[in-house]
Amino acid sequence: MELVEVKKLQVELDAFAGRDVYLHLETTNGSYATHFNEGFFNAGAFIRNVVINYELGKVVGDSPHRVGLKLPHGWVYAQGITHYELDEQGRLLLAGHDGSGKLAVALQISETPFSY
Amino acid sequence: MTIPQERHVLVVFPHPDDEAFGVSGTITTHIQQGTPVTYACLTLGEMGRNLGNPPFATRESLPIIRKKELQASADAMGLTDLRMMGLRDKTIEFEDDEKMVGLMTDLIEELNPSKIITFYPDFAVHPDHEATARAVVRAVRRMKDRPTLHGVAFANNTVEMLGQPDVIYDIQEVRDQKMNSMKAHISQTAWMLEEMEHKLQQGDKETENWLTKERFYNYRWHEDFEKSF
C-alpha cells in the first residue's frame, strides 16, 4: 500500500463510479481494547460483500483522509484513511493505519466478490 | 508437574498464534512423548489489526500470510495434523451454535482424544475465544466418557474467580520450540516479542516464568458455565 495522494486516489474512485461493486467496510478498536483498558467503550462495525453502485466518490482533506460514496438512495463514508492500493486483482483497497501500524478502518471496493 | 502420556490430544483455538503463547510448549512435549496431537484452528485471523505502518499487508493479503505462519508454527512444534477449519475471524459467535457443537463433535468422534485443550469459557477475553470454548464444552458435556478438558484462561478477573491454575507444566526443555512457534507468527507478534526480549534482558522474573511454564484449568463440570444447552 502507499500513502494516499488525493489526485491519484480520486482517479481510482472515479473509475468505479456507476458500476455494481462489492463493498467491504470496517472500523475497529480491536477485540482486546477493553481487556487492556477496562473503561474503554469498544465499538466498531463490519460489512462485507454488499453490492453498491455509487454515482460519485470523493476523497477529501489532509491525511488521514475522509472518503465518501454517494449512492442513489444513501451514502457510504469512512474517515481515517491513510493508505491505498489497487491490488493485482483490480480491487481498490483503502485503509487507515494508526501510528503503531494497527488497522483502524478499511474501505474496499471490487467488481468481483471478496473471499468469504 | 510433568506432562502425562495421553492417547491423543486435540487442541482447538480460533486464531493462528492462539496456540503459540499459552500452549506450544505443551503441544511440543506431547509430540516428543509420541502422543499424536491435532490442532484445529478455526480461522486464519483474517481480521488481524497488525498490518504495519508502512503496511506490509492488506486486509485481503493478511490471511495468506497468516496461513503460512500457522504452518511454520506447526513445523516448529513438530505438529503434523493441522486442521484449518475455514471460518472467518470475529464471526464465530454469530455462527449457528448447534453447528459449532457439531463441528467439535465430529472432530472428537474422529480422533477420540483423551485430552482436549481450548479456552476456558467466560475467562477468554476475545469473543471468538469465548465462542470456541462454549462449543467445545458443549460437545464434551454430551459425551458419556469425557476426556480431560484443559482451559486456558487469561481474563483480568481469572485468579479472583478461578483461583490459581490447577495444572502447571514446566516446559523449559522445549523453550526453543515455544520461542520458534511464537516467532513463526511474526506478522502479529513482532512488537510483543521485542518487548519480551527487552524484559528478559533485564532479568524480569515474570516473563521468564511465562516462557518456562504453561498454565491450565481443569474444566469444572460442577461449576458449568451454563445449566443446559
Give per-residue burial for A65-93: e unless 16+ CB within 10 Å, then b.
Answer: bebbbeeeeeebebbbbbbbbeeeeebbb
Alpha-carbon torsion angle B194, B199, B202, B205, nearest 10 = -150
Q: Are residues B59 and A1, on separate chains, in Cβ contact within 8 Å?
A: no
The residue of B46, B51, B58 whose CB has the most chain A CBs within 10 angstroms, and thus the best one to mutate to test that interface, is B58
Helix, strand and coil content of chain A, in percent to the nearest 5, comes to 15, 50, 40
Q: Is the pLDDT of residue B192 over 90?
A: no
B164, B173 Cβ separation under 8 angstroms: no
Q: Which residues of A touch B55 (CB under 8 A)?
A: 1, 83, 95, 97, 101
Q: Are residues A82 and B53, on separate chains, in Cβ contact within 8 Å?
A: yes
Q: Compare B191 and A27 and report the one with higher pLDDT.
A: A27
| pLDDT value of position A67 | 98
| pLDDT value of position B138 | 98
pLDDT class of A35 with cuts at 50, 70, 90: confident
Q: Are residues B59 and A93, on separate chains, in Cβ contact within 8 Å?
A: yes
Q: What is the mean pLDDT of residues A62-88?
A: 97
The residue of B15, B18, B59 whose CB has the most chain A CBs within 10 angstroms, and thus the best one to mutate to test that interface, is B59
Q: Which positions ≥6 away from B83 have C-beta within 8 Å? A: B38, B39, B40, B41, B107
Q: Which of A30, A95, A114 minimises the CB distance to B55? A: A95
Tens digits of per-residue pLDDT, A1-21? 999 999 999 999 999 999 999
| pLDDT value of position A26 | 98
Q: Is the pLDDT of residue A32 over 90?
A: no
Q: Is the pLDDT of residue B70 over 90?
A: yes
| pLDDT value of position B108 | 98
Q: What are phi and psi of A3, to 5 degrees?
A: -60, 145
Tens digits of per-residue pLDDT, A38-51? 889 999 999 999 99
Q: Which of B50, B60, B125 minimises the CB distance to A93? A: B60
| pLDDT value of position B211 | 87
pLDDT class of B207 with cuts at 50, 70, 90: confident
Q: CA of A97 to nearest chain B CA: how many angstroms apart?
A: 6
| pLDDT value of position B209 | 85
Tell me which chain B residue has its CA closest to the CA of residue A98.
B53
Q: Is the pLDDT of residue A97 over 90?
A: yes
The residue of B42, B43, B53 whose CB has the most chain A CBs within 10 angstroms, and thus the best one to mutate to test that interface, is B53
pLDDT class of B191 with cuts at 50, 70, 90: confident
Q: CA of A7 to nearest chain B CA: how many angstroms apart?
A: 20
Report ipTM for this prediction.
0.93
| pLDDT value of position B73 | 98
Would you state the cell numbers that stand for residue B55, as one nine-digit string? 503496511
Q: Using a pLDDT cut of 90, give the percent of chain B over it.
A: 90
Nearest-angstrom CA–CA distance, B69 and A81: 28
pLDDT class of B165 with cuts at 50, 70, 90: very high
Would you state the cell numbers that stand for residue B159, as one nine-digit string? 485468579
Q: Are residues B54 and A1, on separate chains, in Cβ contact within 8 Å?
A: yes
- Which ranges in B2-143 belong to alpha helices (H)? 18-32, 62-77, 97-111, 127-141
Q: Is the pLDDT of residue A114 over 90?
A: yes
pLDDT class of B45 with cuts at 50, 70, 90: very high
| pLDDT value of position A55 | 98
Q: Is the pLDDT of residue B35 over 90?
A: yes
Q: How far is CA A22 from CA A13, A19, A50, B73, in A?
A: 14, 10, 5, 34
Q: B37: closest CA among B96, B93, B114?
A: B114
pLDDT class of B216 with cuts at 50, 70, 90: very high
Interface of A with B (CB under 8 A): 1, 3, 24, 26, 28, 30-32, 35, 38, 46, 82-83, 85, 87, 91, 93, 95, 97-104, 106, 108, 114-116
Of A75-84, B5-14, B49-58, minimum mean pLDDT range: B49-58
Tens digits of per-residue pLDDT, B117-156? 999 999 999 999 999 999 999 999 999 999 999 999 999 9
Q: What are phi and psi of B62, to 5 degrees?
A: -55, -45
B219, B150 Cβ separation under 8 angstroms: yes
Q: CA of A56 to nearest chain B CA: how many angstroms apart?
A: 24
Q: Is the pLDDT of residue A34 over 90?
A: no
The pTM (predicted TM-score) of the whole model is 0.95
Nearest-angstrom CA–CA distance, B130 and B87: 15
Number of H helices, E strands in chain A: 2, 9
* Cis before B16? omega within 30: no
| pLDDT value of position B208 | 86
pLDDT class of A66 with cuts at 50, 70, 90: very high
Computed over every residue of chain A, the mean pLDDT equals 96
